[in-house]
């Protein structure tokens, strides 16, 4: 019982260590092996503690969970590690065979195909379970040996034919199968009372722990992912402590083509690569130099790389070296282009660009002035309202309630002259009328807002400045809308009216009040201010009231200077 207890405890401890070290690169079949072996050892311990035939049979059923299924999971783990493709049908057939054998174990009793004869007794406190095996047990033994032989054949074949599989890994794979098979046959041959196979299983667990730990080192893509470089075009080369090649990703093979034929667990076949890598690692070990630059090729084929050297670690242990290389060819060539760029040419480009922008702005202003020249009643209106918008914007910048970008502020000021472009579509007879409009004439005049938006859209449809285009269209379209929804042309209300149009509305009305028109005299600043303040919350956005109050002295000073 002490022997079985020890094997159980060791197998449980090894399984706990495996769980603690587990990551997604570990083989699924090996993970199941770590679950099955403690269960099998627990069954053996229960057998040593049995006090009845029923207890012994139950312990046997538990033990044979491993006896029947371990062969399936071990051979499949070997196939996977040897990179041998096995069809799902073959795997399913093997699993079905193991399940059928276990079904005979579960239903085993005296005279069954598994046991011809069974007896149970307790001698000096030690349970004795004597049995004579039937034909199914013979099939079970043949199956165990057959799976073991198939595993050995797979390992030998891989070692001879597949250079991309580590020979070190293959040597480790021999051990579990040999230990389990030898311990099983040794028990059968010499009839030893304790089951040596349980010790064999436990030793096999330790070997599988080494295999799993080693397997993580060969998972290049996983290591690259942990280094946060997967998918970035970064090359990764992994070496063990003896500087033997463990593997590399596709990017590294592109940088160093000789790696495509490089054998696992061997020194670099390419002397140039070996000398270069040794030099990097030596510099890191002696002087702590972890990053170096190097280039390959000449002329148009020259490529530049940035290399980083670091330890390859698993937990606190250093397992080898990780070398990452980033292709910086485009970056280096771009830097060279910048360094060789002619400063005078750049200055000339900047000057021409500025000139084009100025021409664009002047063209817009000229068009607005041309439209205004047709209107007898609004001389100088464009210039005055543009200044009014600028003064309001300046005060809004100081108000924390408005989070205005510099781009928006610039766009609104630049768009202000375009607000009445739609008047170009209004008949001269109406536009030049020396007096107030009747209802019909006023209805026609009101169409200038929507027409202005269409004209601005056509003028700016090819511009790259999308934000300015939107602001300019909104200023032309909605500057006659009112906060209470009684404005035109759409009858928008509240914040549905774009902010730029709400700003324009105040500047537009203020100028109309304090300026002389053909149908009225100019109004005093006090009277105009009273009308504007009464319009807050009705005609105008009440949120703009404080900004208008702050801008009012500047507006009055501006208009006084115009009069002079």
| Per-residue pLDDT tens digits for 332-346 | 777 767 766 666 666
Evaluate whether 546 touches 368 at the Cβ level (below 8 Å).
Answer: no
Average pLDDT over residues 343-355: 66
Long-range contacts of 110-117, Cβ-Cβ distance < 8 Å, separation of 24 or more: 112/136
Q: How far is CA 375 from CA 290, 433, 504, in A?
A: 75, 9, 19
pLDDT at residue 271 greater than cutoff 70: yes
Question: For a pLDDT cut of 70, what percent of the chain falls above it?
Answer: 85
Name the residue with higher pLDDT: 394 or 563: 394
Q: How far is CA 492 from CA 80, 225, 481, 495, 512, in A?
A: 70, 55, 6, 9, 22
Q: What is the end-to-end Cα distance of the chain in Å, rounded?
A: 116
Q: Which domains are seen in the chain, by residue range?
A: 2-217 (1.20.1070.10), 220-338 (3.30.450.20), 345-563 (1.10.3210.10)
In Å, the largest CA–CA distance within the chain is: 132
Minimum mean pLDDT range among 169-173, 325-329, 474-478, 544-548: 169-173
Evaluate whether 140 touches 101 at the Cβ level (below 8 Å).
Answer: yes
Query: d(Cα 84, Cα 56) in Å, to the nearest integer?
Result: 40
**DSSP-assigned letters across all residues of 69-118:** HHHHHHHHHHHHHTT----HHHHHHHHHHHHHHHHHHHT--BTSSSEEEE
pLDDT at residue 228 greater than cutoff 60: no
Where does the pLDDT of residue 555 fall: very low under 50, low under 70, confident under 90, or very high at 90 and above?
A: very high
Q: For residue 483, which phi and psi values (nearest 5 degrees)?
A: -60, -35
Q: For residue 493, which phi and psi values (nearest 5 degrees)?
A: -140, 160
pLDDT at 189: 67
pLDDT at residue 525 greater than cutoff 80: yes
pLDDT at 554: 93
Average pLDDT over residues 36-65: 86
Of 130-134, 183-187, 294-298, 514-518, where does the model show the most confidence? 130-134
Secondary element (H or E) of residue 16: helix 2-21
Minimum mean pLDDT range among 194-203, 283-292, 380-389: 194-203
Where does the pLDDT of residue 564 fall: very low under 50, low under 70, confident under 90, or very high at 90 and above?
A: very low
pLDDT at residue 27 greater than cutoff 70: yes
Average pLDDT over residues 60-66: 86
Structure-token pair, residue 266: 């061997």
Evaluate whether 246 touches 320 at the Cβ level (below 8 Å).
Answer: yes
Neighbouring residues of 325: CB distance < 8 A, sequence distance ≥ 6:
234, 235, 236, 237, 251, 252, 255, 305, 306, 307, 308
Minimum mean pLDDT range among 18-22, 348-352, 433-437, 511-515: 348-352
Average pLDDT over residues 110-137: 82
Of 220-224, 283-287, 367-371, 425-429, where does the model show the most confidence? 283-287
Scan for tokens 């463990």, then name that residue: 246
Average pLDDT over residues 496-513: 93
pLDDT at residue 224 greater than cutoff 80: no
Average pLDDT over residues 232-240: 81
Q: What is the pLDDT of residues 432-469, one digit of tens each?
A: 777 777 888 888 888 888 988 898 888 888 777 888 88
Evaluate whether 497 touches 477 at the Cβ level (below 8 Å).
Answer: no
Question: For a pLDDT cut of 90, what percent of the chain falls above it?
Answer: 19
């Amino acid at each position: 019982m002490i022997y079985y207890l020890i094997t159980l405890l060791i197998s449980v401890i090894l399984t706990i260590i495996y769980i603690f070290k587990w990551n997604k690169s570990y083989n699924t079949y090996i993970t199941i092996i770590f679950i099955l072996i403690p269960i099998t050892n627990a069954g053996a311990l229960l057998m040593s503690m049995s006090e009845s035939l029923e207890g012994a049979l139950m312990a046997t059923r538990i033990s044979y969970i491993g006896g029947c299924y371990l062969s399936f999971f071990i051979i499949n783990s070997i196939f996977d590690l040897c990179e041998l493709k096995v069809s799902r049908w073959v795997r399913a057939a093997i699993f079905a065979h193991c399940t059928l054998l276990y079904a005979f174990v579960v239903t085993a009793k005296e005279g069954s195909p598994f046991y011809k004869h069974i007896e149970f007794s307790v001698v000096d406190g030690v349970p004795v379970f004597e049995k004579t095996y039937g034909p199914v047990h013979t099939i079970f033994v043949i199956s165990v040996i057959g799976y073991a032989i198939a595993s050995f054949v797979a390992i030998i074949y891989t070692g001879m034919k597949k250079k991309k599989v580590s020979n070190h890994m293959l040597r480790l794979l021999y051990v579990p199968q040999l230990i389990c098979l030898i311990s099983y046959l040794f028990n059968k041959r010499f009839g030893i009372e304790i089951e040596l196979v349980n010790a064999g299983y436990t030793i096999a667990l330790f070997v599988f722990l080494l295999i799993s730990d080693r397997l993580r080192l060969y998972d290049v893509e996983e290591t690259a992912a942990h280094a946060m470089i997967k998918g970035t075009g970064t090359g990764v080369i992994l070496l063990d402590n003896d500087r033997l090649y463990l593997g590399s990703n596709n990017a590294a093979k592109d940088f160093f083509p000789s790696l495509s034929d490089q054998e696992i667990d061997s020194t670099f076949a390419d002397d140039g690569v070996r000398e270069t890598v040794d030099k990097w690692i030596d510099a890191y070990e002696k002087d702590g130099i972890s990053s170096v630059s190097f280039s390959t090729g000449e002329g148009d084929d020259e490529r530049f790389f940035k290399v980083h050297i670091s330890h390859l670690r698993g937990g606190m242990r250093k397992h080898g070296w990780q070398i990452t290389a980033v292709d910086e060819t485009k970056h280096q060539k771009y830097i060279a282009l910048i360094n060789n760029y002619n400063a005078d040419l750049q200055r000339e480009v900047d000057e021409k660009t500025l000139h084009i922008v100025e021409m664009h702005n002047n063209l817009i202003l000229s068009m607005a002035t041309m439209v205004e020249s047709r209107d007898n009643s609004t001389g100088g209106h464009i210039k005055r309202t543009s200044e009014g918008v600028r003064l309001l914007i300046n005060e809004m910048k100081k108000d924390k309630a408005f989070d205005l970008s510099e781009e928006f502020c610039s766009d609104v000021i630049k768009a202000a002259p375009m607000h009445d472009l739609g008047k170009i579509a209004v008949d001269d007879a109406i536009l030049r009328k020396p007096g107030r409009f009747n209802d019909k004439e006023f209805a026609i005049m009101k169409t200038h807002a929507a027409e202005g938006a269409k004209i601005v859209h056509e003028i700016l449809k090819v511009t790259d400045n999308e934000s300015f285009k939107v602001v300019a269209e909104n200023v032309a379209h909605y500057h006659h809308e009112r906060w209470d929804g009684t404005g035109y042309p759409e009858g928008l209300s509240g914040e549905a009216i774009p902010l730029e149009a709400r700003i324009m509305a105040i500047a537009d009305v203020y100028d109309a009040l304090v300026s002389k028109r053909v149908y009225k005299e100019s109004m005093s600043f006090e009277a105009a201010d009273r009308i504007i303040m009464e319009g807050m919350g009705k005609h105008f956005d009440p949120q703009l009231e404080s900004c208008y109050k702050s801008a009012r002295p500047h507006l009055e000073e501006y208009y006084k200077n115009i009069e002079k």
